[in-house]
């Protein structure tokens, strides 16, 4: 490995002069700085980042924990984070919790032991105890939550207004004439699952539609297979349902597949609306009406918040936690249309 000493010996100058020249110190002449840079390039010199990080007390790495990497929404978030991290010279260590609380705890501990400069996290569905998050914050490691968060944890967060978005989705079904509206909701624990259910319920109440708990199906895996399974259950038990708001697009796509298998016409017999706006939502038949969740933008905002907190703590400046709420849009496609009155 080429070092500063090799460059100094090649040019017959001191190591200190080489170091200063590479850092563009003004007390080194332009001619010497140019010569040092050219020699460094010729010898294929690479700075020792470990030594630099040790000196600056920065690892130039951040940790990222997400429930699923293959999930379209989370892959968009990762792209947004990486796009900003690269601009600031940060490496992103990405870990997948597989919706497991125990694995999430281990991964958070691993990142803490690696002395990352900060951590971004979207909580696993199984996370009910937040002690591991509090310990990270108490250890003075910057932590930013996004999408699936814990409201009681004091840190910066980037979210969408899930309740408002779910209300908008349910209201759309009501506006096109749906009277019996089912909901495929996520597990009980994640805050976004709770808020989407509450938004659905509030829209029914505001439109004088009686809430029927038997029309709400609790899903665990939020998978394509579960979408098919509960669509079959819905058709078996509630043939009068004319609309359904589904917690995420993958489940909605599974439901539409089952409706197609059973000869149930979407949207003529049942209107379907999803959440997230996956790529697949636009290419299935019929294409899926959904709520557009800005994953890429969420990733960008989350990194910027984390980076700001990292800089403030390094400079020993007080930092006030911030919550950013991003807007969502209703994307209307073929799976919903006005019913005949």
Checking if the pLDDT of 57 tops 70, the result is no
pLDDT tens, position by position, 121-165: 999 998 989 999 999 999 999 999 999 999 999 999 999 999 999
**Helix axes of 249-261 and 224-237: crossing angle, nearest 10 degrees:** 50
Pair 252, 284: CB distance under 8 Å: no
Give the length of the chain. Answer: 341
Q: Average pLDDT of the chain?
A: 93
Per-residue confidence at 11, pLDDT binned at 50, 70, 90?
Answer: very high
Query: What's the Rg (C-alpha) of the chain?
Result: 26
Q: Is the pLDDT of residue 52 over 60?
A: no
User: How far is it, in rounded angstroms, from Cα 172 to Cα 117?
Assistant: 44
pLDDT band at 56 (very low <50, low <70, confident <90, very high): low
Taken in order of first residue, the domains within the chain and their CATH numbers are 4-47 (1.10.260.40), 56-160+295-327 (3.40.50.2300), 162-293 (3.40.50.2300)
Q: Say what the pLDDT of residue 2 is.
A: 84
286: confidence class by pLDDT, cuts 50, 70, 90: very high
For residues 68-84, give the mean pLDDT: 91
Residues 6+ apart with CB under 8 A from 267: 286, 334, 335, 336, 337
pTM: 0.82
């Amino acid at each position: 490995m080429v070092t500063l000493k090799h460059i100094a010996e090649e040019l017959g100058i001191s190591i200190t002069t080489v170091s200063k020249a590479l850092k563009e110190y003004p007390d080194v002449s332009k001619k010497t700085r140019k010569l040092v840079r050219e020699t460094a390039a010729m010898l294929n010199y690479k700075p020792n980042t470990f030594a630099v990080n040790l000196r600056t007390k920065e690892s130039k790495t951040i940790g990222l924990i997400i429930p699923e990497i293959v999930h379209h929404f989370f892959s968009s978030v990762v792209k947004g984070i990486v796009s900003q991290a690269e601009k600031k010279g940060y490496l992103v260590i990405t870990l997948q919790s597989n919706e497991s609380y125990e694995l999430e705890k281990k991964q958070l501990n691993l990142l803490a032991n690696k002395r990352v400069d900060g951590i971004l996290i979207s909580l696993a569905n199984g996370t009910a105890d937040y002690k591991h998050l509090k310990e990270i914050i108490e250890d003075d490691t910057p932590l930013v939550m996004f999408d699936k968060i814990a409201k009681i944890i004091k840190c910066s967060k980037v979210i969408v207004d899930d309740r408002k978005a779910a209300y908008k989705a349910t209201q759309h079904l009501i506006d096109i004439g749906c009277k019996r509206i089912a909901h495929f909701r996520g597990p009980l624990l994640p805050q976004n699952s709770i808020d989407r259910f509450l938004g659905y319920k509030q829209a029914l109440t505001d439109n004088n539609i009686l809430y029927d708990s038997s029309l709400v199906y609790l899903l665990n895996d939020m998978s394509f297979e579960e979408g098919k399974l509960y669509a079959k259950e819905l058709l078996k038990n509630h043939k009068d349902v004319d609309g359904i708001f589904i917690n995420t697009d993958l489940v909605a796509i599974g439901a539409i597949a089952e409706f197609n298998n059973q000869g149930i016409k979407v949207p003529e017999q049942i209107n379907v609306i999803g959440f997230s706006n996956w790529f697949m939502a636009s290419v299935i038949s019929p294409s899926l009406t959904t709520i557009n969740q800005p994953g890429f933008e969420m990733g960008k905002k989350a990194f910027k918040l984390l980076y700001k907190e990292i800089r403030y703590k390094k400079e020993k400046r007080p930092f006030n936690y911030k919550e950013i709420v991003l807007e969502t849009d209703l994307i209307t496609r073929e799976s919903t249309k006005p019913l005949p009155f």
